[in-house]
Amino acid sequence: MTRPFQKIMRCTTVLLIFMVSVVSVEAQVLRRGIGPEPDSLHIHQAQGLSAIHLLRETREGLLTFDAQGEPVAGVAQSWKVSDDGLTWTFILREDARWSNGDAVTAAHFVAGWRRAVDPQSQARTANLLSPVEGAQQVMSGEQDPESLGISALDPQTVQVRLQRATPWFEEILAHPVTYPMHELGSEDARQAPVNGAFFISDTTPHAQISLRPNPYFHSRDSLALDAVELYPIEDPSAELSRYRAGELHITETIPPGRFEWLADHHGDALRVSPYLGSFWLGINLSRAPFRDNPDLRRALSLAIDRDVLVRVITGAGELPAWGIVPPGLGGSHWTFDFMGNADQRAIEARRLFKNAGFSRNNAPRIELRYNSSGQHRRMAVAVAAMWKQVLGVATTLINEEWKVFVNNRRQRVLTEVFRGGWIADYADPASFLDLFRSDEPLNWSAYANPDFDELMEQSTKLAGVERDIALMKAERLLMSDMPVIPLYYYVSRHLVAPGVKGFVDNVRDIHLSRYLDIETEAQ
Amino acid sequence: MMHEHGILRHAAQRLLGVLPTMLLLITVVFFLVRVAPGGPFDSEKALPPEIQANLEAKYHLDEPLIQQYFRYLGQILVLDFGPSFQYKDWTVNELIAEGFPVSLTVGGLAMVLAFLVGTMIGITAAMKQNTPVDYSTMGFAMLGISIPNFVVAPLLILVFAVYAGWLPAGGWDWSVQRMVLPVITLALPMIAYVARLTRGSMIEVLHSNFIRTARAKGLPEKTVIRRHALKPAMLPVISFMGPATAGLITGSVVIERIYAIPGLGSYFVTGALNRDYTLVMGVVIFYGLLIILLNFIVDLLYAWLNPKIRYDEEY
């Protein structure tokens, strides 16, 4: 090759590389894992977390979430709450638009809410609307959907009437079940216009969901990203591989058992943060020997060393739990009368065990039931070992497939001690404590204490600190009755590539892509 | 020659046999999935009873089982598998239509690869019987059979995607790069099986009289293999390939999970776990039809390869 020719080649190569890099700077594409395939894109059909997340990216309610995961104005630009907390009046943004250009009006909210509670249209999460006036009656078929407490005063004004003051109602207003519904979207969710920051431009089930900015979105100018690619990946190990190969910026979770390795090798990307969830072992109070025997239940609880569980079994920064309301929700973090260290707790456990009428030679045999999963099995084995060691209790481990397990747990006939736990629908202590009201269908322990019900009922009439105190009292009472043995509080776990900006850890684990950005090096 | 007519008659007989087989399959699966405890709407957070009742009415789950069964048979006749319970925006037909081309591509390529490489290795080993070449290739084949693909796949990902960065770690967009690793993973144990089968039957054929005759006529070894030994030696391989292909092209759960491939395989498992009755029925019926079809093709190939089993009346 001649020298001038080589020079030209070199220049062209440099130019090409430059052009390629300019192109990649221009296209800001964020790639996120979202866990399992979303079960539906319909605001009334979606149940799974991944579907709810996807709906939050593509749609917006009266309220939405900010980058810190707190409820803020969405389609509503402002709202007023009456002094009794029962009447909420929302003024809608004038620039709120659907992705086909139509205006989002008050009528769209009324239509959506009525359809959500209509038993004919089967909204899976309709229960969240139960604080609204008339919702219970409509859902049970006693009244027409038109009697629901929502009305359009004019195209820009929505008024909602509540049955009772609901401190967490703002958060419900940002949940997909309360989103507005366009006439074109009532049945076929895949063709429906959306009103959020992004719309779905392409989707391959179980592989990829492509989001592009919605040109009609009211805050379109604030979006930093040109596209978001969402990848449904069921297997956390597969997700981790794709992150390590540079194919993902954000993962939905991390594989169990890899926490330490990730902390060592991807410490700058690992994000672990308290989450709205508690893990506990439930006790079926309708069965011997647990019925009318709180000392036995307390002894079983004290015999379990939570510090060992969270260090050895879960090992991703989970917090040992002595109550059921996670920290960060205004609950009291420890609610058990007796703490001390592990040895002292073991002595106290044996004392209570004796009080309950048992001894090492006369120990009950206990069934511990859990749904099939490696982590739950390890947890059950560890708990059984601790019970054996401290109290001499022999445990039968029963492992059931998910659908069988949830059925047995609900029926409260077969179960003795079972895997329980809860991930809150809204960030409020009541989301956890309401589970133990005596008339609650999700009260798998069959716990019934009139004093507890009374405290919970009182709390609904209170606000602020007084309400917090009533809820704290309720939790203390619950923990002294011990229908469940709390083990640990959940954490959210993500890998977030160091170049991603705007990702703020928060207790709701909500990270809308509209607030995220990527530094060019991370592309 | 009567045998062409014979094949047709045989084909017609086989096709007639499909109906009772499929009916049996549908019946067994229909009642089995419903006997399993729990239902499609059971989840941690119970639905309000009125909504649960309406959902059951919508999917006709409130009818007596036998009525549901005949309703389902009626649907099957017009090839309508109904809506999926779990993936509510999709019908089972759509899910199969989206997933099958993916599984067919990955499985089909793996099958072709396995057939080509496997027979080549097998023939080579057979020709060099009891030499180091034979031992090493068969040792390799044994290894291929015994290492499960959930071990091979993460290893391949680690080496080629994470460390070398040559190939993507998973996902699907119909690009060749994303097919390489899953196809190889899926093909490896198949290559091993095919190689062992080919070697075994090739050695047997090479010791038979008609090969001795061919050699005695002075034909070069290449011609002996290609013209005379290959066809009969392929018989056991072909009968293995039929059902194996049905298995491969309907997707592998393990491969799909590890490489995040949107194929059919994972529906067999997630469908059953979610009590997604319609999805389970859909994929099982589809799979059943494929197996029957492929076995049928194998039969025809057999007849073509082996003059001893021409299906004519004289035989």
What is the ipTM for the molecules in this complex? Answer: 0.85
User: How confident is the model over A138-189, as pLDDT tens digits?
Assistant: 988 899 999 999 999 999 999 999 998 899 999 999 999 999 999 887 777 8
Would B174 be classed as within a structural domain?
Answer: yes
pTM: 0.87
Q: Check pLDDT > 60 for residue A332.
A: no
Q: Check pLDDT > 60 for residue B220.
A: yes
Tell whether A189 is within 8 A of chain B (Cβ).
yes
What does DSSP assign to residue A178? G
Q: Check pLDDT > 80 for residue A67.
A: yes
Tell me the sheet residues that pair with A397. A368
Tell whether A439 is within 8 A of chain B (Cβ).
no
* Residue A74: band (very low, low, confident or very high) from pLDDT cuts 50, 70, 90: very high
Q: What is the CATH number of domain A274-492?
A: 3.10.105.10
Residues of B in contact with A441 (CB under 8 A): 46
Chain A window 400-429: which residues touch B at a Cβ cutoff of 8 Å?
401-404, 406-407, 410
In this structure, chain B runs to a length of 315
Half-sphere exposure (Cβ direction) of A343: Cα atoms closer than 13 Å = 0
Please classify residue B146 by burial: count the beta carbons closer than 10 Å to its beta carbon, then call 0-12 exposed, 13-18 middle and 19+ buried.
Answer: exposed
The pLDDT of residue B313 is 44
What is the SS3 string spanning chain B? CCHHHHHHHHHHHHHHHHHHHHHHHHHHHHHHHHHCCCCCCCCCCCCCHHHHHHHHHHCCCCCCHHHHHHHHHHHHHCCCCCECCCCCCCEHHHHHHHHHHHHHHHHHHHHHHHHHHHHHHHHHHHHCCCCHHHHHHHHHHHHHHHCCHHHHHHHHHHHHHHHCCCCCCCCCCCCHHHHHHHHHHHHHHHHHHHHHHHHHHHHHHHCCHHHHHHHHCCCCHHHHHHHHHHHHHCHHHHHHHHHHHHHHHCCCHHHHHHHCCCCCHHHHHHHHHCCCHHHHHHHHHHHHHHHHHHHHHHHHHHHHHCHHHCCCCCC
- The answer to whether A404 contacts B48, with C-beta atoms less than 8 Å apart, is no
Question: How far is the CA of B209 from the CAs of A79, A187, B77, B309, in angstroms?
Answer: 95, 71, 52, 19
Residues of A in contact with B264 (CB under 8 A): none
- The answer to whether A238 contacts B165, with C-beta atoms less than 8 Å apart, is no
Q: Which residues contact B115 (CB under 8 A, 6 or more apart)?
A: B194, B237, B241
Count of the separate structural domains present in chain B: 1
| Residue predicted with more confidence, A143 or A288 | A143
Q: What is the CATH number of domain A30-208+496-520?
A: 3.90.76.10
Residues of B in contact with A439 (CB under 8 A): none
Residues of A in contact with B34 (CB under 8 A): none
Would B152 be classed as within a structural domain?
Answer: yes
Q: How many helices (H) and strands (E) are present in chain A, helices listed first?
A: 15, 18
The pLDDT of residue A7 is 54
* Residue A21: band (very low, low, confident or very high) from pLDDT cuts 50, 70, 90: very low
Tell whether A246 is within 8 A of chain B (Cβ).
yes
- CA neighbor of A71 nearest in space, from A447, A474, A428: A428
Domain ranges across chain A:
30-208+496-520, 274-492
- Shortest distance, CA A238 to any CA of chain B (angstroms): 5
Residue A283 to residue A409: CA distance in whole angstroms: 10
Residues of A in contact with B36 (CB under 8 A): 403
CB pairs under 8 A between A and B: 134
Structural domain for B258, as ranges: 107-262
Residues of A in contact with B58 (CB under 8 A): 122
User: How confident is the model over B32-79, as pLDDT tens digits?
Assistant: 999 888 888 888 777 777 778 888 888 889 999 999 999 999 998 898
- The answer to whether A403 contacts B273, with C-beta atoms less than 8 Å apart, is yes
